[in-house]
Amino acid sequence: MLKNFYNGKRVFLTGHTGFKGSWLTLWLKLMGAEVLGYSLEPNTEPSMFEELSIYSHCRNEFGNILDLKRLTEVMKNFKPEIVFHLAAQPIVRLSYSEPILTYQTNVIGSLNVLEAARKCDSVKSFVNVTTDKCYENKEISRGYKEDEPMGGYDMYSSSKGCVEIMSSSFRRSFLQDDNGYAMATARAGNVIGGGDWAADRLIPDCVRYINANKQIEIRNPIAVRPWQHVLEPLSGYLLLGQKLFEEGKKYADGFNFGPNEDSVLKVADVAQKVVDYYGKGEVVVHKRDDLHEANLLMLNIEKAEVVLGWKPTYSADNAIKKSVEWYKNFYENDDIDMYDYTIEQISEYEENMVWNKNFVTK
Ligand SMILES: NC(=O)c1ccc[n+]([C@@H]2O[C@H](COP(=O)([O-])OP(=O)(O)OC[C@H]3O[C@@H](n4cnc5c(N)ncnc54)[C@H](O)[C@@H]3O)[C@@H](O)[C@H]2O)c1
């Protein structure tokens, strides 16, 4: 289904130098799509983009989404049919020191990408990636549904809540009836997988501590999050991109993509599983600082299941295992080509995708 659809499609992807964007570029390439990636240069060392030469699997444009003129020019010249917008300042803790950058990138940057696409007649489908943190967090023990109020205590979360409100307004103002493209927002939970080296994210932090032979210091052991492998939300974005393209505005709405309820785990338990699968390391609780982070965050994924026919495939445990295997191979196994290994992980996921049987691109 997805493979046949994306084969030969022209896809404009923002954020292709980042963690999710690198995986998405490879997956789209594997399905035969023609991808143009538009992002800032990678900002981690190492980065999946550099290590796997992602630039050689797409048309690579380093550019800023705040530069509306250049963004529009590049998009118009490429004539994409589908846009996946992933570029963002996505780190909660950085949003405390860089609130302006966070709002500019996430809110104005997203508005620019929506506006550039409006100037581009070829665009039919637009997947606008936000986050599960866009909801007003009431620390409740059930998952948020798509129609619940937007909010956010910290500047990252609220910037994404703003992106949701802005996108809804943009849709109602400019994309009604026969006007413009079909645009949906995608809200996913905590995403893990190999190739993420961002600061202040649990699995990359664990891997850094383990490789430095240091104890793994965690700040908020009892915080509960919906953990999912990176290929889970990406499969949801791909399905959404296809539905918007084929059936249009019927799907132009917000969708949650999260794991099943049994994959909602405490930070301490995830860190311990990383140690167990790595075969080394030790978890210790570090003194908390006073930056607020949500303790309890869960998503209700019924809408994606019923309306799109999407379902999560991997348990959190399996997602942690796959992530650790990726990093272990990267750091400890010189005989493994990480590009081939990543493609293998994508192919294995395709073979197991519960909602899309017979989906194999390799
Ligand atoms: N990783 C997660 O756990 C998670 C969870 C929920 C939502 N998300 C969302 O998914 C998306 C991708 O996240 P990620 O984890 O891959 O992040 P990442 O930090 O690895 O990648 C961010 C990407 O955005 C690009 N970017 C940042 N500012 C830009 C600018 N001004 N102009 C052009 N490009 C710019 C970067 O160059 C990079 O390619 C983000 O929108 C994020 O908010 C991530």
For 53-107, what is each residue's pLDDT tens digit?
999 999 999 999 999 999 999 999 999 999 999 999 999 999 999 999 999 999 9
Residue type, 287: K
- For residue 151 the two structure tokens come to 């909010």
14-40 pLDDT, tens per residue?
999 999 999 999 999 999 999 999 999
C-alpha torsion sign, points 188, 193, 198, 203: positive
- Give the mutation target among 50, 72, 86 for probing the ligand 1 site: most ligand atoms within 8 A of CB: 86
Ligand 1 atom 22: residue of nearest CA? 18
Residue 148 to residue 77: CA distance in whole angstroms: 39
DSSP string, 305-324: IIII-----S-HHHHHHHHH
What residues are paired with 191 via a beta bridge? 228
CA 326 to CA 297: how far, in whole Å? 27
Ligand 1 centroid from CA 335, angstroms: 30
Predicted pLDDT at 358? 52
Confidence of residue 286 (pLDDT cuts 50, 70, 90): confident
Would the pLDDT of 360 be above 70?
Answer: no
H or E element in which residue 327 lies: helix 316-332
- How confident is the model at residue 362, as a pLDDT? 43
Dist. CA 30–CA 142, nearest whole Å: 37
**Banded pLDDT at 344 (limits 50, 70, 90):** very high
Going from the Cα of 178 to the center of ligand 1, the distance in angstroms, rounded, reads: 31
227 forms bridges with which residues in the sheet?
190
Measuring from atom 18 of ligand 1, which residue has the nearest CA? 18
Judged against a pLDDT cut of 50, whether residue 8 lies above it is answered with yes
Q: Which residues contact 109 (CB under 8 A, 6 or more apart)?
A: 65, 66, 87, 88
| Span 169-196, pLDDT tens digits | 999 999 999 999 999 999 998 999 999 9
* Residue 296 DSSP symbol: B
314-328: pLDDT as tens digits: 999 999 999 999 999
* pTM reported for the whole predicted model: 0.97
**Domain definitions of the chain by residue range:** 7-189+229-258+300-315+337-352
* Half-sphere exposure at residue 238, Cβ-oriented, CA atoms within 13 angstroms: 32
* Amino acid identity at 302: E
% the chain with pLDDT above 70: 97
Q: Tell me, what DSSP letter sits at residue 251? A: G
Amino acid symbol at 266 = K
- DSSP assignment string, 194-206: TT---TT-HHHHH
**For 183-212, what is the mean pLDDT?**
96
Beta bridge partners of 144: 299
What is the C-alpha separation between 164 and 161, in angstroms, rounded? 5
Judge whether residue 50 has pLDDT over 80: yes
Architecture (CATH level 2) of domain 7-189+229-258+300-315+337-352: 3-Layer(aba) Sandwich (3.40)
By alpha-carbon position, which residue is closest to atom 30 of ligand 1? 64
User: What are the structure tokens assigned to 160, written together?
Assistant: 């994404």
Residues with CB under 6 A from ligand 1: 14-15, 17-21, 39-40, 64-66, 86-90, 105, 109, 129, 131, 188, 190-191, 198
Q: Could you tell me if 12 and 60 are in contact, meaning their C-beta atoms sit under 8 angstroms apart?
A: no
pLDDT > 90 fraction of the chain, expressed in percent and rounded: 86
Confidence of residue 298 (pLDDT cuts 50, 70, 90): confident
Task: Give pLDDT, residue 288.
Answer: 67
Query: Once rounded to an integer, what is the mean pLDDT over residues 157-165?
Result: 98
Instruction: Return the pLDDT at 285.
Output: 83
| 103 Cα–ligand 1 center, Å | 13
Cα(250) to ligand 1 centroid in Å equals 27
The predicted pLDDT at position 340 comes to 98
- HEC-encoded secondary structure of 124-187: CEEEEECCHHHECCCCCCCCECCCCCECCCCHHHHHHHHHHHHHHHHHHHHCCCCCCCEEEEEE
Nearest 10 degrees: Cα torsion 27, 111, 42, 134: -80
Residue with tokens 């978890």: 283
